Structure 1
Amino acid sequence: MRIEIWADVVCGWAYIGKRRVEKAVEGLDVEVVWRPFRIDPMAPAQAVPHEEAMADPMADDALRRCAPGLTPGENRVRMSLVAAEEGFGWTWGPAWRADSHDAHRLIALALEHGGPALQDAVAERVMKAHFLDKLDISDRATLHRLAAESGFAAAGALLDAGEGDELVRELLLKGKAIGVTTSPTIVAGSQALAGAQPPEVIREFVLAATPARPLPAEVERYRHAESLLDQRDPLGALVMLKPLLGEHGDDRNVLLLTGRAYYLSAQLGRARETLERLVAAAPDDAYARHLLGRTLQRQGHADEAAPHLRMAAAMAPEYA
Structure 2
Amino acid sequence: MRVEVWADVVCPWAYIGKRRLERALADSPESRAEVVWRPFRIDPMAPERAVPLSEELRDPVVDAALSQCAPGVSPAENRVRVSRIAEEEGIGTRWGAAWRADSHAAHRLLALALDSGGSLVQGAVAEGVMRAHFVEGRDISAHEVLADIARQAGFPQGGALLSEGAGDRTVRESLLSGKARGVKSSPTLVIAGRSLTGAQPAEVIGEFLRHSEGRKERNVPAEVERFRQAEALLDLGDPLGCLTLLAPLLEEQGEDRGVRLLAGRAYFRSAQLTRAETVLERLVAESPDDSYARLLLGRTLERQGRDAEAAVHLRVAAAMTPAYER
Find out whether 1:245 has 2:247 as its counterpart: no
Is 1:185 paired with 2:188?
Answer: yes
Q: Name the residue aligned to 1:57.
A: 60
* 1:1-320 equivalence runs, <5 A: 1-26=1-26, 27=29, 28-209=31-212, 210-320=215-325
Q: Could you tell me which runs of 5 or more consecutive residues in structure 1 were left unpaired when the two chains were aligned.
A: none
AA aligned to 2:65 is A
| CA distance in 2 between partners of 1:147 and 1:179 (Å) | 30
1:42 and 1:58 in contact (8 A); partners too: no
Partner Cα separation in structure 1 for residue 160 and residue 288 of structure 2: 52
Give the whole-Å Cα distance in 2 for the aligned partners of 1:231 and 1:198.
31
Amino acid at match of 1:38: R
The 2-side partners of 1:206 and 1:88 are apart by 23
Per-residue Cα deviation, 1:232-262 (whole angstroms, up to 9, x for no partner): 0000000111111122222221111111100
Given that residues 63 and 75 in structure 1 are in contact (C-alpha distance below 8 angstroms), is that contact kept between their aligned partners in structure 2? Answer: no
d(CA) in 2 for partners of 1:257 and 1:85? 50
Q: C-alpha deviations, 1:94-135, integer Å up to 9, x for none?
A: 010100000000010000000000000000000000000000
Note the C-alpha offset of 1:306.
1.2
Is contact 1:129–1:135 with CA below 8 Å preserved after alignment? yes
More displaced, 294-303 or 179-188?
A: 294-303
2:216 aligned counterpart, secondary structure: coil
Q: Give the match's secondary structure for 1:173.
A: helix
Q: Percent of aligned positions with the same letter in both sequences?
A: 62
- Aligned residue for 2:141, secondary structure, equals coil
Which whole-Å CA distance do the structure 2 matches of 1:247 and 1:2 have between them?
Answer: 29
- Give the deviation of 1:163 after TM superposition: 0.2
| Number of equivalenced pairs | 320
Taking the aligned partners of 2:165 and 2:92, their CA distance within structure 1 comes to 36
Q: Distance in 2 between matches of 1:214 and 1:23?
A: 30
Tell me the SS of whatever aligns to 1:180. coil
- Asked if structure 2 preserves the Cα contact closer than 8 Å seen for 1:23 and 1:199, the reply is yes
If the length of structure 1 is used for normalisation, what is the TM-score?
A: 0.98
Letter in 2 for 1:18: K
CA RMSD between the two structures: 0.9
By how many angstroms is 1:212 displaced? 2.6
The one-letter code sitting in structure 2 at the alignment partner of 1:213 is R
Task: Provide the rounded CA distance (Å) in 2 between the counterparts of 1:263 and 1:31.
Answer: 41
Quote how far apart the aligned CAs of 1:89 are. 2.9
Query: What are the superposed Cα offsets for residues 159-192 of structure 1, whole Å, 9 maximum, x if unpaired?
Result: 0000000000000000000000000000001101
> Quick one: which amino acid aligns to residue 302 of structure 2?
Q
SS in 2 for 1:297: helix
The one-letter code matched in structure 2 to 1:242 is A
What residue ranges of structure 2 are gaps of 5+ in the alignment? none
CA contact (8 A) 1:268 1:295 kept: yes
Amino acid in the other structure paired with 1:303: A
1:4, 1:187 within 8 Å by CA — same for their partners in 2?
A: yes
Larger displacement relative to structure 2 (46-55 or 208-217): 208-217
Alpha-carbon shift at residue 72 of structure 1 (Å) = 0.8
Deviates more, 1:166-175 or 1:24-33: 24-33
State the Cα deviation string for residues 200-246 of structure 1 (Å, max 9, x = none): 11111122122232100111000100110011000000011111112
- The offset of 1:90, in angstroms, is 2.7
User: Scaled by the length of structure 2, what TM-score is found?
Assistant: 0.97
Aligned residue for 2:71, secondary structure, equals coil
Query: What is the alpha-carbon distance in structure 1 between the residues aligned to residue 216 and residue 203 of structure 2?
Result: 20
Distance in 2 of aligned mates of 1:308 and 1:226: 25
Deviation for aligned residue 1:6? 0.2
Q: Supply the distance in 2 between the matched residues of 1:200 and 1:282 (Cα, whole angstroms).
A: 57
Q: Distance in 2 between matches of 1:255 and 1:63?
A: 39
